[in-house]
Chain A
Amino acid sequence: MDFFVQLLVNGLSVGFLYGISAMGFVMIFKSSSVLNFAHGELLAIGAYIFLVLATEAHLPIYGAFILTMLACFSLGFIVEKLFLRPLIGEPLIFVIMLTVGLAAMFKGLILLIWGGNLHTFPDFLPEWLTLTWGGATVQPVYTLALVAGVTFLALFGLFFKFSSQGIYMRSVADNQRAALSLGVNVKNVFALSWAIAALVAGLSGIILGIINGVNVHDLSAIGLKVFPVVILGGLDSIGGAIVGGLIIGLLETLTGGYISPSLRDVVPYIVLVVILMLKPYGLFGQVEIERV
């Protein structure tokens, strides 16, 4: 029983991290219907920037954190401006292929600069973030993850439902031509969504880096994990990303614990296909409205 509880806790915490990592991905999808294959690399870039600022530039930790967020935000902005803007209006598959190319570029670049070794952050999280609850203790980093996750979830929910920018983003994803005809600044919408996505990705990269250490191969592998997570939750649902993350995380640790460790990477995909057959748009995804 203890073993089960242990697996449960592990699974949920890993799953929550998947969920947070997937949020940025959903953000991009929601505004532009693009599957971002470079998401794992965005996570890695955030983590590496923080690493450099915190350990090599010796900035105070909060200063480094804020600078990293700013850098990620601008990076997302620049990436959109340089690479995605010219493709506005082209079929999606080209944009998706472009992100595949971007992923290779980023990965190569990171490897060139930082190499493939594992780096670790200094221990900087304050003690008071450690929560004790009954007999269980929650590591500070998981508290941070929880707070970040819930905050973003709430913020995004409000943003998409009520703010003008949020509604414009959804309108662009829905019908780009109509949005253009009404004077929605499609370029700004894309740039903003990439910038926000990169920011969220950077933050999740840092959290993942604190837990597992920073390594581009691991982080870009997480970028692939994001796919079953978001599909399970429904591609355009940010809350669904968290739920999908929890499910995938649980599946992984449970199969790893009870069946065989080598199956842990495959079982989530099998379950994914089964669930998709039952609910073709994921658990919380928007059902496509098709009218002939």
Chain B
Amino acid sequence: MRKWIFHPCGNFHERYETQLNVYETDYGRFWTAVGIVLLFTAVPLVSSHYLLYVVNSIGIAAIAAIGLNILVGYTGQISLGHGAFFGVGAYGAAYLATRWGAPLLVSVPAAGLIAAIAGLVFGLPSSRLKGLYLTIATLAGQFIIEYVLIHWESVTRGTMGITLPTAGIFGLEIAGDRAFFYLIFTLLVAMLWFAVNLLRTRYGRAFIAIRDNDRAAEGMGIAIFPYKLLAFAISSFYAGVAGAVWAYYTISITAEPFNLGLSVEYIAMVIIGGMGNMSGAVFGAVFITGLNEILRWGTDLMMNMGFVTQMGLNMAPLREFVFGLAIVLFILFEPRGLAEVWRIVRSSFRLWPFSY
């Protein structure tokens, strides 16, 4: 049996392989296992309907945000079209399910692939464009996809929207928040696992090299363009899968939610969570989705109070204001994101009371 590693008091890496380990200590491995078990047992049991809905929304957002983090945080290509790819996934699943009666196990990965192809197409400008110019090209992608989703009526049924059939796996019906909770979080764990491990492969290292210095990466023999395309495809695949699940979850979809606002929200998740950090994407999803829900709840509460409605005030703009304020304050006070906060908290516990 190998030696258990609990709490090294220094850097004891002896081989390069050990630095690639996901967990430095068996401690971390243990707590992750505990966390997953708790997530799947305790959370659905104690949560109310509404809370479970929020948790599910977080899970879906986290899947998409992880994808975006691969592209933005690890490959360094800022994309403003993630919301549109999410929409492509949603429509892909809806189309497959309604026209061809595809079961969930087929339609969700297929929708991911469709989104990945869309991502490939709109990642093509990255062959020539860099930095902010590329960002604007992805913004163009966002608007073009949005237009197609609304106007390609033979497939998307335009503004009518599509209603999906009930989802099912092997005859097991997936309906209701709890069933979806298991579906979403199984997917989330699997896709997080894939993403974390992807970054330990040659592909992941190529992404990071391109982010840090694309010229140098090219000099090392990394073919930049195929890798950038791959990053676009993988990231859109994540968005597509998230969108597909979301489509099943909300049952009826229209093109309206997949706008620039959604793309910006995903970027906000990645940045607030912490770019180039996988747990960061999850933190960001929790933060942004949670903030949205709290604000919705807060404004609803205020709307129900008599004096506000009497004054004829509309509280919806207040929500927007506070949302903006939260992002601004966050970036001002902790630009490295929630993952960094988490790291500082952990390491200050570890190092206490000698900070250096």
A residues at B contact (CB < 8 Å): 33, 35, 83, 86-87, 90-91, 93-94, 97-98, 100-112, 115, 224, 227-228, 231, 235, 262-263, 265-266, 269-270, 272-273, 276-277, 280-282, 288, 290, 292
Contacts and interface: CB of A to CB of B under 8 A. Distances in A.
A116 to B, nearest CB: 8
Interface in B131-147: 132-133, 135-137, 139-141, 143-144, 147
A280 B129 contact: yes
Interface string B288-303: 0000000000000000
Q: How large is the interface on B (under 10, 10 to 19, 20 to 34, 35 or more residues)?
A: 35 or more
Given A224-B260, A266-B144, A104 B321 contact: yes
B63 interface: no
A281 B133 CA distance: 7
B103 interface: no
A240 to B, nearest CB: 13
A107 B325 contact: no
A97 B267 contact: yes
Contacts of A109: 317, 321
Given A83-B328, A108-B319, A280 B143 contact: no
Q: Is the interface of B mostly helix, strand, loop or mixed?
A: helix
A109 B318 CA distance: 7
B268 A97 contact: yes
A29 B264 CA distance: 20
Given A86-B332, A93-B275, A277 B319 contact: no
A235 B140 CA distance: 16
B129 A102 contact: no
A203 B264 CA distance: 28
Given A100-B264, A105-B321, A115-B314, A90 B335 contact: yes
A109 B273 CA distance: 26
A277 B260 CA distance: 23
B321 A108 contact: yes
Contacts, number: 129
Given A112-B321, A231-B133, 10 more contacts: A35-B132, A87-B331, A87-B335, A101-B325, A104-B321, A112-B313, A235-B132, A269-B139, A280-B129, A288-B130
B128 interface: yes
Contacts of A231: 133, 136
B324 interface: yes
27 contacts: A83-B332, A87-B335, A94-B271, A97-B327, A98-B332, A101-B268, A101-B328, A103-B324, A105-B320, A106-B324, A107-B324, A108-B322, A110-B317, A115-B314, A224-B260, A227-B136, A228-B140, A231-B133, A262-B147, A266-B143, A269-B144, A270-B140, A272-B137, A272-B140, A276-B137, A277-B125, A280-B130
A241 to B, nearest CB: 14
A228 B133 CA distance: 10
Contacts of B219: 292
Nearest to B129: A280
Contacts of B49: none
B275 A111 contact: no
B61 interface: no
A98 B332 CA distance: 8
Nearest to B148: A266
Contact of A292 (B216, B313, B327): B216
Contact of A98 (B78, B141, B317, B327): B327
A195 B219 CA distance: 43
A262 B153 CA distance: 14
B29 interface: no
A277 B321 contact: no
Given A288-B130, A292-B216, A108 B331 contact: no
B227 to A, nearest CB: 18
Contact of A102 (B143, B268, B328): B328
B317 A111 contact: yes
A209 B323 CA distance: 27
Contacts of B331: 87, 94, 97-98, 101
Contacts of B129: 276-277, 280
Contacts of A263: 147
Contacts of A102: 324, 328
B139 to A, nearest CB: 6
Contact of B320 (A35, A108, A228): A108
Interface string B116-136: 000000000101111011011
B151 interface: yes
Contacts of B200: none
B328 A273 contact: no
A266 B136 contact: no
Given A100-B268, A107-B320, A108-B319, A227 B139 contact: yes
Interface in B226-258: none
A101 B324 contact: yes
A262 B260 CA distance: 18
- Between A35, A97, A272, the greatest number of chain B beta carbons within 10 A of the residue's beta carbon is seen for A97
